[in-house]
Structures are given as structure tokens and as C-alpha cells.
A and B are shown apart, each in its own frame.
Chain A
Amino acid sequence: MMTVKKLVLAMCICIMSSSVANAMRVAVFPVEDLSKGKNGVNFEFTSYLAKEIAGRNVELISQQAVISFMVRNRIRWVGFLDYNNILKAGQELDCEFILLGTLDQTKANKAGGLPVYGLTFFLVRTTDARTVWSNSKAVSIDDVQRLLGINEPQTGNELLAFLVQEAISGWPARIDTDIMQQSILEIENVILEPRFAQPGEKVKCIVRLRRDDKGQSPEIAIKVGPKIFMATKRSAGAYYEASWKGADILLAQRLAQDDMGDEFDRDPYDKDRFFVQNIASHQIPVPATMASGGSMWQMYEVKTGMTQANTAMYDSGSSPAFVEESEIYESLLSGSNVDGSYPVSLSIIWPDGRKKIVFLGTYYVDGRAPQVTLDVKSKEIDGIAAFSDKITIIPHMDQREPVKRWEISVEDEDGNTLISENGKHFLPQHFTWRGQQSSGRFANDGEYQIVLKTWDRADNMALAVKKVMVVKEEPVVHVEATQRENAVCVDMSAEKRRPLAYWHVELRSQTGALLQEKEGNKLPVQLEISNEKLSEAGKVECLLSAKDLLGNSFKNKIEDIQLLADKKEKSESDKIQEQKVTEDWVEDF
């Protein structure tokens, strides 16, 4: 009897220990609660969930340990983790799995009803960061309606409890912990700059690798076309750096349909492009199509950034040969230049022989400045755009391209900058200048130039200049009155440089009666008023108003044109007198 009891007890102990040994060690990370906003966390629900799954052959890691792990590793987001942190969690928390969850709730479908809940779980194996089980469940009161309402959830918490039970009902009893074959992500970060370079500008690539667990240092190289640039390791961390001149590799485009064969390195990402070494004075045979339809070889002498074409002719099927007199044939080659895109790959060779080539990105060589012109919307005076109030300046790009930065300024004739403004990225559609300086004061009348500088992404600068004229002063209209035999003539004239848009003149008597009225848009003009009318009217006043093309207005009132005519006569006679005086000899000086 005692032996039987001992045997039973021993068997129970064995079963219990085996079940404990087979229990999954799971770390439950704080559940993300979307109803509390992005990155909201629900610790109460996390604790409840942990308790519920504890009874399913699960050995839980304490919440405190999980929180400490998150703090130590600066994990600020809930609901997801990356590969490295999953592996770390497995090591530091000594767990086989981690559970990540997301909870959300929305308002009830009906007024006064219980909220609606949604829940998603991911169970991730820490040995290889693979998601091995997942479940997604949702519940509303409409989903759990029962006959006669028996055992129906009455509160939100009861509904949530129901949801949790539904969600973990498919909890796996056993999961294989064997590691599946999976590549390890080595690259932590890549910096390739500049992404847009000028010909001859240095391009740098820095790669940060995840430290190899075996402590091995790989051989790192950066591959740009056919060229390999060995990367050097920085002293701190696992950073590898390589740099080269952006236009070291010459790109040439395939011409006709003829295959180039294996002579040149073909771009793996674009079958119509291939790479050649930039060796000075190297002659490259490139097939082309003659305008007449035959085929020929075109020999290119390659120099950095320049090409010279020496053509050779041959019948199709024969080998290329030079002829004394070369003729230029139409070629499909767009021109071997250094501008273009250059794909960059990373080559990793581990000491144990593992190799990997990873595409990192593309950088572009751009040696051409954008073509920018300025257009202004205004009237012109002597061929120069002029304004009195404001002027609109519209920049035009021949080929629109993204702009890195721009700067617009207004300079006077001496080159001094009155006002300037700058910006980044896209050029504004238009600019407006109101004739003010940066201090707020208005600029004097005169000629100025608007200067727009634009830099593209490769820092190539384009310059566009436009001359403008500020005219704020009112137009000057000269009025002269001349006494003739029977009448007084009133002559009006304006500056030729400032054409008028409109003028209006009235001659009124002393009593205000209108004697004469005239208007027009061109000067000079002459008015006549007879002496009879003058004597009848007494004092005749002249009211003149005019406006130029830019909107500047002019007004003048001459009280008495007879007086003006007399003044003119007197000044002319004074001039004659002066001349006479100067001619007489003064004896007693």
C-alpha cells in the first residue's frame, strides 16, 4: 500500500515537473490601447490578460521585469518591437516568447449601449523573432445576445472579459522552439550623401552594422557600377565609411538593338545601360544605326566629361576599321556625360565565407544648372518694366525640377541690396515688390534690378536678372501761354519719356463759366482763346489734370492765363534787354 502511494506520489511529481518544464516562458508586453491615443498603454488590461493566459501552460515573466527591460533599452513604443529588441528580450528576460497586443474600443452602436472592443495579439518567438501565433477578435453587445438575455454581459468590463476569453481560446498548447533558418539583418543604418552631387564632388557612404554575435569583423565594400570602394571602419561602433568622387564612373547608354555582348558591365537594374571604366583616351566601339539603315561602329574617345566621336564605317558582319574621311552619322547615343544616376550596393564578406550584396540606394550626378528666367507683368517705359505701386515677378524654369533653395533680391544701380528674401524647396509661383526697402521706406525713383538665384539639389546655381524702374513721382505737364495778335495760345507738353494715359484741361472765366474744355491721351496740344473772350471773361483760369501710364496723377491750376502770357512776354523782352546791356560799352566803370 505504502509502495503504491509512493509510486503515485512520484508519478504526480514527475507529471508536475514535466508540465512546468514544458510551460512556455512568455513575457507580456504592455498592451497598446488605441482608445487612449497613439501609443496609449493600458496596464490594467495587461495585468488582467497576463492572469488569464497564466493558466494555459504559460510561465509569465513579471511585469516589472518587462518594464525595466523597456526602460533599459529605451523602448518608447508599445504594440510592436524590432528584431534586435526581440532577441534582447529573449536573452535579458530569459523568455521563449513575447506577447504583443493592441486593444481598441469605440462607442456603442446604439445610444446607451455597451462599447465595441477589438483586440489583436501577436506571439513572437524570441530565438528568431518570428511571429508564431496571432489572433484578432472583436465583440459588441449585438454579437453576444443570448436567449432571454441569460448571462449576457451587462457592463463594458464583462464584455471585455468575454472578448479576452474568445481571443485566447485558440492559444497554442505547444509551439516548436526550433529555430528556423532565417537571415540576420546586419544593416542598422545607411547614410549616402549627397544624394545629388556635382561632377567631381565627393560622395560618402556610411553603413552601420549590427554587431556580429560571433565577434567577427566582415569585409565591407561599396560597389558603384563596376567599381569597388573598400570601406574603412570607424574607431567607435560598427560604422564603415567609404567615399569616392561622384563622376568617377562613366555611364554610356546602349544605342541600337545590337547587343554589346559581355564586353562591358551591364547595369543589373536597367538592361539598356552599361558601365565602362573612365580611362582617359580610351576608345570604345559602340554600335549605332546609320541614317540610311545600315549598321556601323562608332568609336568614342572618352575623356572625363567629354566625348569626341570619330566614326568608322563597315559593312555589317565585318570588323570595324577607320576610314580617312569620317562622316558624322546620326547616333542614338545621348552623349556620354557624367550626369546620371548611380546605384550603390553594399558588399559584405564574412570571415566564415558568407557573402551578401545589398542594394543601398542611388545617388545622382547633376552638372547642369537649372534654366531660370524672370518675367514681369507691368507697363514698359523705354523698354524697361516700370511700376508705381507694385510689380509682379514670375520665375520660369525651362525644365521644372525640384529646387534646394532660392534667393531673390533687389539691387540699385550701384549694386547695393535694397531688399532680399530666401526660401527652400519649391520656387514660389510669383513674387511681388511694392517698391519698398528692407527698412520699410520706399525706394527712390530710378532703375533697379531684380536678381533671382536658384540652387538645384546638386547645388548648381542659376542666375536670372530683370531690370525694373520705379516711378512714383507725378508726371510733369508744362503749360505755356503766348499772346498772339487776336488770341492767347496755351501750349501743353509732357516729357517724352513719360507718356500720358490721359489729360483733361478746362478754361473757366472769373464767374466759373466753362469757356473751353478738351481732353486726350497725347501731348503736346494747343488751345486758343480769342482776345474778345478774354476781355469778356475777365480773368481766365486754366485747370489741368493728367495721369501717366503707371497711374501717377498730376493736377495744376493756373489762376490767370493772361498773366502767364504777359509774364512770358516780359521775360522774353528782359532777355533781349540783358543782351543789349551786355553789348553796350560802359565808359565809367
Chain B
Amino acid sequence: MYLQKKSFHDGIFMKPLRNISLLLIVIALIGCVGSSKPATHMYGTLETQKICRVAVLPFVNQTQYRNGDIIAYRIFTSELVNFDRFNLVQEGDVRKVYQQMQIFPGESPTYEQVRVIGERLEAEILIEGRIIEMTHGNRADEPFPVLGMSLIVYDAKKGVTLWTTYHRKKGDQYRKVMHFGLVNTIYALVQRMSREILNSWSEVGFKQCTET
């Protein structure tokens, strides 16, 4: 009888505990499945440990999203300023050099042009971005924003590519549980992804120099 009572009580308490633990495991798995890190491909190593000045080149918009290049550019640049307090070349100076070198909107600079831009702007690193996929998620079949972007990092002194990064995500991939964590706007998605990219770059030596 005691044994029966004990097993009966165990059944009452064990079942909910088991269910809760199962639920927690499922939530954790969902979180794992949803995450995707930026994919970085290295072409060279960053020789200098001091990146004092960074220039972000105008992004190229390969989508139909209006002004997607400017939106991504401004938000990425904002994150770059906050990331490690890099000394950022002003967008106006970058645009002026582009205009003088007759690099038209939508065009990428050649390697020689990269060197010239780096010298003229006195930047150690140049970053160029391409928007490959961009939707703001107000359609019934695609309710969450989607962004796919590719970034190229150049060593401005040598005019060579250091690494390229491709990152693509949807707003619902940041869901934690229920509706919490969802990214509902394309702007917030650009911001989150920019931070993830910069965090991944810090692992390959992308650090600001300490100026005195």
C-alpha cells in the first residue's frame, strides 16, 4: 500500500517535472536551430594590429528595396562607431573621392582604386558592402524582414582583400519564445546583423588602435 501510495505520488510530481524539462529542452533546441553566424572567408591576414582609421565605401544595392544601400550604410556605420570607437572617415569625404575618381553608383572600385582611396582618405581599412536580399516583411507570405548582405574588407595600403563576410537572416530567427525577441523592422534587422558581423570580425583581429 505504502509502495503504491509512493509510486502514485511520484507519478503526480514526476510527470510535470518531466514535461517542464522536456519543454525547456525543446525551447533550447529551437533557439539553436534559429541561429546562423556570419560566414567569413579569409584571403589574407591583418598584419597591422592598429586599425586607427576606417573608411566605409558606399554600399551597392542589388535588390529592388528603395534606398536599401543608404539605410544599410548608415546603420552599419553607426554600429561601427559604437563597436570599438573607430575613427571613421566621414561619408562626405568618401563620396568626394568617389566623384573625383569617377566611380559611379553601383560600381565597385578596382584594386588600384582601393589603394588610391586608402591613401587619399588616410585609412588603413576599407569596407565595402553589397545588399543582396532585402525585404521589409509586410507581405502575408513574408511577414518578417529579410536581409542578406556581403561585406568585403580591404587592406588599403596594399589594395588587397583581407576577408569577405556573407550574412543572411530573417526577423523571426531572433525569436526567443512566443513573440519575444522577434525583429519586426528591417532597420532593427540591419542593426542586429551589423553587430553580429562586427563581433565576428573582432575574432580575426579587427580592433581599434589605442590612440594617445
Contact = CB atoms under 8 A, between A and B. Distances in A.
Interface of A: 34, 38, 77, 79-83, 85-86, 102, 104, 106-110, 116, 118, 120-122, 124, 129-131, 133-140, 142-143, 180-183, 185, 187, 189-190, 358-362
B19 interface: no
Contacts of B90: 80-83, 86, 124, 129, 131
22 contacts: A80-B95, A81-B90, A82-B96, A104-B71, A109-B184, A118-B75, A118-B188, A120-B75, A130-B88, A131-B88, A134-B78, A136-B74, A136-B79, A136-B191, A138-B187, A138-B188, A142-B182, A143-B184, A143-B185, A181-B211, A190-B100, A359-B116
B92 A140 contact: no
B186 interface: yes
B100 A131 contact: no
Interface of chain B, helix or strand or loop or mixed? helix
B152 to A, nearest CB: 20
- Chain B interface size, as a band, is 35 or more
B82 A82 contact: no
B63 interface: no
Contacts of B70: 34, 38, 79, 102
Contact of B67 (A34, A137, A361): A34
B78 A136 contact: yes
Given A81-B90, A130-B87, A182-B87, A142 B184 contact: yes
Nearest to A133: B81
A190 B119 CA distance: 12
B211 A189 contact: no
B144 to A, nearest CB: 9
A180 B88 CA distance: 13
Contacts of A82: 90, 92-93, 95-96
Contacts of B46: none
A465 B205 CA distance: 60
A85 B91 CA distance: 12
Interface in B68-85: 70-71, 74-75, 77-79, 81-82
Contacts of A107: 136, 138
Contacts of B92: 77, 80-83, 85-86
B85 to A, nearest CB: 9
Contacts of B133: none
Contact of A362 (B95, B112, B143): B112
Nearest to B70: A34
Contacts of B185: 106, 116, 118, 138-140, 143
Given A120-B74, A185-B122, A134 B82 contact: yes
Contact of B77 (A81, A104, A134): A134
Contacts of B119: 358-360
B121 interface: yes
Nearest to B79: A136
Nearest to A108: B138
Given A34-B71, A109-B143, A138-B185, A83 B93 contact: yes
Chain B CB count within 10 A is highest, among A85, A124, A129, A181, for: A129
A34 B186 CA distance: 14
Nearest to A75: B92
B81 to A, nearest CB: 4
A136 B75 contact: yes
A138 B122 CA distance: 33
B71 A358 contact: no
Contacts of B188: 118, 138, 143
- Which 10 A-B pairs rank lowest in CB-CB distance, beginning with the nearest? A82-B92, A118-B187, A138-B187, A80-B91, A134-B78, A134-B81, A138-B185, A136-B78, A142-B184, A120-B74
B136 A116 contact: yes
A104 B88 CA distance: 23
A138 B93 contact: no
Nearest to B66: A34
A108 B70 CA distance: 21
Nearest to B136: A106
B198 to A, nearest CB: 13
Contacts of A83: 90, 92-93
Contacts of B82: 134-135
Interface core residue of A80, A83, A122 (most chain B CB under 10 Å): A80
A185 B120 contact: yes
B35 to A, nearest CB: 21
A83 B91 CA distance: 9
A549 to B, nearest CB: 50
A589 B127 CA distance: 112
